[in-house]
Structure 1
Amino acid sequence: MNAKELLDSYASGDRDFSKRSLVGLILTGANLSGANFIEADLEEITLDIANLEDVELNLANLNRANLSGSILIQANLNGTILEQASLIGANLSEAFLIEADLSDAILVETNFSNSFLTSANLTRSRLCRANLSNAFLTGACLNGADLRGANLTEADLTRANLTGANLAGADLSRANLTNAKLNWANLANAKLIGADLTGTYLSTLRSIEGTDFTDARNAPNSVDLVNLVNIEELKPEE
């Protein structure tokens, strides 16, 4: 099925494109809201600035896909593969991405507010200035993720793995970091105002310069903070 055939089929009322091979199609600006792409092969597809609201994309292959600027509000992407995908400025508020693979994805200024990212793989993803407020990130893997300037206010990061993550300037106010791993993370100028740090792993932090722990639950004291910061030359174990 080529791009024209897909759009014509959608226009005629067809919404079921599950398990189809749509590799590399260019669908910039397309309106495909409510469509079913469950288990479809959408590798390297171009769906930038498209309307994908309420779309079913669970278990689909979106490796290296371009979804930048697209609307994916309340979309279902549970178990979807989005490795190296580009979703710059996309709106995924209230979307479902449980156990989705977003490793190495470009998610700069992406809106994940109120989304469900439980056990999602966000390893090395670029989340600069992303909106993750009120997002559910329980058990998510954010190893080496770039979260500079990200909004994580009231996010649930229980048991999340943020080892080596760059959280410089990020806002984690009132976030739940219970039993989360922040080893080797950069917290320079980050806000953890009112955050819950119960059981949080904070050993060998890269930086806490300017970090605000005001009213944080179980925050380290000033003596502990000095001992938490490791020298820049040291490298985390492989």
Structure 2
Amino acid sequence: MTVLITVWGASPGVGKSTLCAGLSRRLADMGLRVDHFREEEILTRPQFASVVEEFETTGTVASATLIASTARFVDAVVANGDDVVVADALMPFVPTLLAMGHGEAAIDAFMTDLTEVLARVHPVMVFLDGDAGAALSRAVTREGEQWLDWFIGKLAAYEVTPPVADLASAVTYLRRERAVTLDAVRRKGWGLVMIDRADERPPDEVLQATQRALGRLGLLPTSPLEPSA
């Protein structure tokens, strides 16, 4: 059985990429065949070439394009014989749909199609929860003040609701993005692992909590492994 573990969080800076890297290493140490899909790889994976081309040409991406690209991705995963895919901020594309101005009814319809396409890879979401404002501050510490200006500018340019113009409105929007994403996943019956206070906990603790929770879902052993050398 192939399992897709898609990792999202309450905000940039909450630790998604760190968790994906650590989880991928541990799964590989267990002898599993792991595909670590890094966030930036949507720009280079051939299955998503049409998504990138459409966005660069029109500034938007149609729902049908996302579904078709995901179907090609699933075909590739199954053909490769991967045991686990650890995807950093990829499916279920809810933030992308919100940015393109889609309402919750359209997102629900999209999720119905997406869930059907992903059935062969048994999707489960790991959601790193926490305070969006605190997580953004962590991202600024890591990336610099110019990153925050870029992030706010990116959200301001999209058709998000509520609109974003500054840090406070960005935090308000991220709270809505969180609510819509979690509701969409729950309504379609995906596996869901919530890691509370991820912005306050050290990475090793977040990793162990994630592994234990995945174990309770029957996807991984429940006892945490020792860090790899």
Q: Fold conserved (TM > 0.5)?
A: no
Structure 1-normalised TM-score? 0.24
Structure with the higher helix share, 1 or 2? 2
Answer with 1 or 2: which has the greater Rg: 1
Structure holding more strand per residue: 2
Q: Please, what TM-score do these two structures have when normalized by structure 2?
A: 0.25
